[in-house]
Amino acid sequence: LACGTPIVSTTLEDFSTNEWKKLGKIPRDEKDTVRCVSEMLDNAKPFKNCREVAKKYYDWENIIRRTVEVYDRLFEKYYGRK
């Protein structure tokens, strides 16, 4: 993704539906993986902005912010404070 290359992966389900469609394809099984790769090679245009979409999730500032949010929720849940 960082190189602007779309992906075929079952882990794209972690992204919102609107965003994973810009990042790549989610295959259902082995045969579907072949179909997904073929479609992406035939038409890469829908994925031209995959790098920008991925940066929202993998930018260090965003990673740090989300990590702190997780710790805040854990502290709140187990200690009743942030």
What is the residue-averaged pLDDT of the chain? 89
* Three-class HEC string of 47-78: HCCHHHHHHHHHCHHHHHHHHHHHHHHHHHHH
Q: What are phi and psi of 19, to 5 degrees?
A: -85, -40
Decide: pTM greater than 0.75: no
76 Cβ neighbours under 8 A, 6+ residues apart: 82
Q: What is the pLDDT of residue 21?
A: 86
Q: What is the tens place of the pLDDT at every residue in 37-76?
A: 999 999 989 999 889 888 887 889 988 999 999 999 999 9
Beta pairing partners, 8: 25
4 Cβ neighbours under 8 A, 6+ residues apart: 48, 50, 51
